[in-house]
Structure 1
Amino acid sequence: MSSFPAVLTSEWTKIRTVASTSWTLAIAFIATVGFGAAFCALVNAGFDSMSDIERATFDPTLVSFSGMQFGQLAMIVFGVLVVSTEYSSGMIRTSLAAVPARGGFLLGKLVVATALALLVGLLTSFVAFFLGQAILGDRGIGIDGENVLRAVIGAGLYMALLALFSMGVAAMLRSSVASISILIPFFLIVSNLLSGFEATRKYGQYLPDKAGSKIMQIVPEAMGSAETPYGPWGGLAIMLLWVAAAVLGGYLVLKKRDA
């Protein structure tokens, strides 16, 4: 089973036979689409009461993805479980015995899980966009609008990269509880706190979620948000650096430590 195609097949079997990973992907889809639709309805109903800046920088595409802050938490859990479940169950010893090349083992796991996360992410982003625009009505925008397709595809990429980042962290920590206990507060609390205050915003804007989510905007400083020294692609590049660092760290830990 040491050939790479066999590794891919094995990892696919592991993922699809574990109910928790399937459920987390389903929750990521439902939360992102559901909360996004609800927020679109609220914005549409209260548009006239918004501030002048918010109306001037109104970004209908970004509003469709407002549920991402909830859906991304499920995608983080998915990434963690893909890696850490083998450690908690003790199956990691069997896996490494079957695939002695640890780099190939980790690469196969990351490739399969990231491809699945990307597929679900793209499905989520397109459904969230079209549903959101239907709710916004005349205030919505078409998929053929300037930079809209980039934002919709970028939202799917963002979800996949978030899962990949979480896999790298889980490979370093080798524990579901430790990984989730660090990642969820990091994205839910720390990131928002650093970005919410003027004194710390210059640091918070370089965190993976804040930088990566820039790809979902089609209007600069959308909805009155703070200006950043990078654009959509620059933000995605910053997120890629975070992901690369996490994956490299996970590989080094897997290579140097016993199962």
Structure 2
Amino acid sequence: MAAAQVLQSEWTKIRSVRSTVWTLGLAAVVTSALGGLISVLSRNRFDELSASEQLRFDATYISFAGMGLGQLAMIVFGVLVVSNEYSTGMIRASLAAVPQRGLFLASKITAAALLAFVIGLATSFVTFFLGQALLGPYRASISDPGVLRAVVGGGLYMTLIAVFSMGVAAMLRSPVLALGILMPFFFLISNVLGNVPATKEVGQYLPDQAGTKIMQVVQLPDDAPYGPWGGLAIMAAWVAAALLGGFLTLRRRDA
């Protein structure tokens, strides 16, 4: 089967499963709504900040405060895209139709990643403009240095989170197991390692900790020893490793 046909087939699968589409919509709503709420709260307490805290005030990054919760839906989306076929048994029919397993996985990842990027980028822009409108006099402009990079980076971050989850799901082949590992990893282990002084140097190289650097405009002296694009590169390396693991698992194991 030609690559274009396989890609079209995978796109049809994604579009026909309501749960996968709804998770993307939920990611957009949660990210924008929570970011707007945090922006309002930040505006109301700006005068209470110390002079040094006001200098470190990152209006752009504050508007993305809901990204941490919104990525939960992106993780679910990535897991469902890959593992749904395993849980229903349809993976056997899919691999019988497309015996080239590398082509099969690449087409699935490509179709889902493109959709995640479109939704993620749109969400990032909406979240930014909403947050800045609610920040009032403390807002940033899209034309300010580093802001456009941060907003586009928000879309890239959401996409990479989804693709990383796809790679993990391809390795584990179970939605329950994949979510059971990814959720604690991102919402517990990563936060603990990133905030405890003894493990902070390790935590800053985890995918989400490194990836969020792309959304920061104000760089602090005590930040991680890499810049926004360096952080995104670290996250991309994690994604590549997960996809490689998923491919090797698919190639070596029976459906």
Aligned position for 1:190: 189
Query: Please, what is the CA RMSD of the aligned residues?
Result: 0.9
- SS of the residue corresponding to residue 230 of structure 1 reads coil
Equivalent-residue separation in structure 2 for 1:138 and 1:118 (angstroms): 31
TM-score between both structures, scaled by the size of structure 1: 0.97
Aligned position for 1:216: 215
Give matches, 1:221-232, under 5 Å: 221=220, 226-232=222-228
> Match for 2:238: what amino acid?
W
Aligned position for 1:243: 239
Is 1:123 matched up with 2:116? no
> Match for 1:253: what amino acid?
T
Q: Compared with structure 1, are the counterparts of its residues 194 and 52 closer, same or farther at alpha carbon in structure 2 (3 Å cutoff)? A: farther
Q: Following TM superposition, by how much is the alpha carbon of 1:242 offset from its aligned partner in structure 2, in angstroms?
A: 0.2
Aligned position for 1:28: 27
Aligned position for 1:204: 203
Equivalent-residue separation in structure 1 for 2:79 and 2:57 (angstroms): 35
Equivalent-residue separation in structure 2 for 1:6 and 1:170 (angstroms): 23
Q: Following TM superposition, by how much is the alpha carbon of 1:141 offset from its aligned partner in structure 2, in angstroms?
A: 1.0
| Cα shift readout 1:28-47 (whole Å, capped 9, x = no counterpart) | 00010000000000000011
Give matches, 1:19-98, under 5 Å: 19-98=18-97
The runs of 4+ residues in structure 1 deviating greater than 6 Å are none
Equivalent-residue separation in structure 2 for 1:238 and 1:250 (angstroms): 19
- Structure 1 stretches of 5 or more lacking a match? none
Q: Following TM superposition, by how much is the alpha carbon of 1:226 offset from its aligned partner in structure 2, in angstroms?
A: 4.7
Q: Following TM superposition, by how much is the alpha carbon of 1:54 offset from its aligned partner in structure 2, in angstroms?
A: 2.4
Q: How many residues align?
A: 255
Aligned position for 2:10: 11
- SS of the residue corresponding to residue 199 of structure 1 reads coil
> Match for 1:103: what amino acid?
G
Percent identity (aligned): 59
Equivalent-residue separation in structure 1 for 2:102 and 2:111 (angstroms): 14
Aligned position for 1:180: 179
Equivalent-residue separation in structure 2 for 1:226 and 1:158 (angstroms): 22
- Structure 2 stretches of 5 or more lacking a match? none
> Match for 2:148: what amino acid?
L
- SS of the residue corresponding to residue 198 of structure 2 reads helix
Match of 1:255 among 247, 251, 255: 251
| Cα shift readout 1:190-229 (whole Å, capped 9, x = no counterpart) | 00000111100000000000000000001002xxx95111
Match of 1:234 among 230, 233, 242: 230
- SS of the residue corresponding to residue 198 of structure 1 reads coil
Equivalent-residue separation in structure 1 for 2:55 and 2:129 (angstroms): 22
Q: Following TM superposition, by how much is the alpha carbon of 1:56 offset from its aligned partner in structure 2, in angstroms?
A: 1.3
Equivalent-residue separation in structure 2 for 1:54 and 1:92 (angstroms): 53
